[in-house]
Structure 1
């Protein structure tokens, strides 16, 4: 087999287990910090344990990026076995994790590591990884895969509705000025993943139902051909996404809808209540 390409991502990606197994995607974990205790995401802290702590604890969590040595240790065995590595990562504008992967490449002194900035997070990363996995299966080379990922990223979309912007402000992802109306008068603020990979505050809408309808309307207004495009619905613990999934299915009629619970990295910044659409 000449097309030996190994896929990597970070634990911000929230890749569903079936896709991790199908495309043999290795996940390098970030850390989640509650108070004085640092956990390895989904290694020493499960998703269920994270949500239990977030909901029941007075301590607000924070995240810590993957360091270069973690990436180097993960990459090296595959390089030694003749693989080319493709790491699709959390937006460089949101975390130093992506830069750590690039430093690991320099440390390992190889040209056989390719890094791709998703300019997104969570299912925004996952959807790119699935495209890469499909192309590897079909025998495409790394250059062709990188071009396809760039094309997909150019039309990517991430909108999230939350009850409060407090967690994003505390995590430094939004300014207090951007968040000023959130949480008032039953307002449901939208969080937007910008094309440059930063996070911004979008419209502020007076009910969750209208917020979700707005997200779908915005998606429908893009030039994306959803019959050829997967979309992802992301939701927090205790949130029932069924109605939103049905709305997405009816209005967009996408190739496939991925549904997954928000993991600890995104959950740290989104907080206990939110629903998102990515493609």
Structure 2
């Protein structure tokens, strides 16, 4: 009997890293016109962003079917293992619901599904927290309780090149998107209570870094005893400048660097700088 940690591909943990961390990834799907790809499996980040920029139509994204969770749940049942499943926010995707349906189909009580109320770098932090707690040999109930508390402290901000993709995907109102397109205004979004909100606007990327730092400092600040995750979509050059700025202004030393994959990239677009941390 052991504890198995399962998450979905919007955690932006690569297949290679998942093997190293000893966790299971269930992929979401990205659909370009009539062609379907499994996130992180049969399309690389590089291929995805190239296709995204060239595509006339915004691709769509799709949650995993309950059947994608089933083999892992059946395996846990057969081995008498505990499965802890951590999904993308239920307010952003039906993935959480699919996992619940799969649990009902399995008819096994020792499957615990946590709605992270976050996504991408924030979800990755919660998964990494689960791994760290598991290493402490804590009981499953204690791990679940600690994860439910930890998820309330996760803060995720992202500086976007534009709101174009969020507007196209219907994730923000048209007026917010319109305002974001004016005079080199860079939007900063946050994931709060499981949904995407426009947190601030700034003039240019340098102004964006400044504003982002301001938001982090005024929001209880960073708990430096926990992990921090910084990520980017497509263009790493934006992030290099952002990391340098964060080192100078937030006294940032240790952090995890993570590319942002195709499902989140569909809605956020290229050129994103993301910053996820646990609040004090």
Interval of TM-score (by shorter of Structure 1 and Structure 2): over 0.9
Indicate the residue corresponding to 2:88 in structure 1: 90
1:105-160 CA-partner distances (Å, limit 9, x unpaired): 11111111111111110011110111110111110111111222122222211111
Which residue of 1 is the match for residue 62 of structure 2?
64
Q: Post-superposition shift, 1:254? A: 5.2
Match of 1:234 among 231, 235, 254: 231
Q: Return the offset for 1:203.
A: 1.4
Of 198-207 and 84-93, deviating more is: 198-207
Structure 2 equivalent of residue 107 of structure 1: 105
Matches within 5 A, 1:28-39: 28-39=26-37
Q: Any residues of structure 2 matched to 1:204-223 within 5 Å, and which?
A: 204-223=201-220
* Secondary structure of the corresponding residue to residue 212 of structure 1: helix
Residue pair 2:8, 2:27 contacting (<8 A) in 1 also = yes
| Greater helix content | 2
Matched residue, 1:78 = 76
State the distance in 2 between where 1:132 and 1:255 align: 23
Deviation string 1:67-92 (CA, Å, 9 cap, x unpaired) is: 11111123222321221111111000
- For residue 185 of structure 2, what is the aligned residue in structure 1? 187
Q: Is residue 228–residue 255 contact of structure 1 (8 Å, CA) maintained in 2?
A: no
- Residue 111 of structure 1 aligns to a residue whose secondary structure is coil
Q: Which moved more, 1:94-103 or 1:160-169?
A: 160-169
Which residue of 2 is the match for residue 136 of structure 1?
134
Q: Deviations over 1:27-80 (max 9, x none)?
A: 100110001111111222222211121123323211011111111123222321
CA distance in structure 2 between the partners assigned to 1:235 and 1:69 by the alignment:
31
> Helix, strand or coil: the match of 2:154?
coil
Q: Does the 8 Å CA contact 1:228/1:254 hold for their aligned counterparts?
A: no
Unaligned runs of 5+ in 1: none
TM-score by length of structure 1 reads 0.93
> TM-score, normalised on structure 2?
0.92
Asked if the contact 1:155–1:224 (Cα under 8 Å) also holds between the matched residues in 2, the reply is no
Of 78-87 and 220-229, deviating more is 220-229
Q: Secondary structure at the match of 2:258?
A: strand
- The corresponding residue for 1:266 is 264
**8 Å CA contact 1:105, 1:113 repeated in 2:** yes
Over residues 212-256 of structure 1, what are the superposed CA-to-partner deviations in whole Å (9 max), with x where a residue is unaligned? 222122212333553202111111112321221133234334573
Partner deviation per Cα, 1:181-237 (whole Å, 9 max, x = no partner):
01111000111111x201111211111111122212221233355320211111111
RMSD across aligned C-alpha pairs, in angstroms?
1.8
On the 8 A contact 1:226/1:255 being kept in 2, the answer is no
Alpha-carbon shift at residue 17 of structure 1 (Å): 5.8
> How far apart, in 2, do the equivalents of 1:37 and 1:43 lie?
14
Residue 18 (structure 1) shift: 6.6
Matched positions, count: 276
Secondary structure, counterpart of 1:152 in structure 2: helix
Structure 2 gap ranges (5+) = none
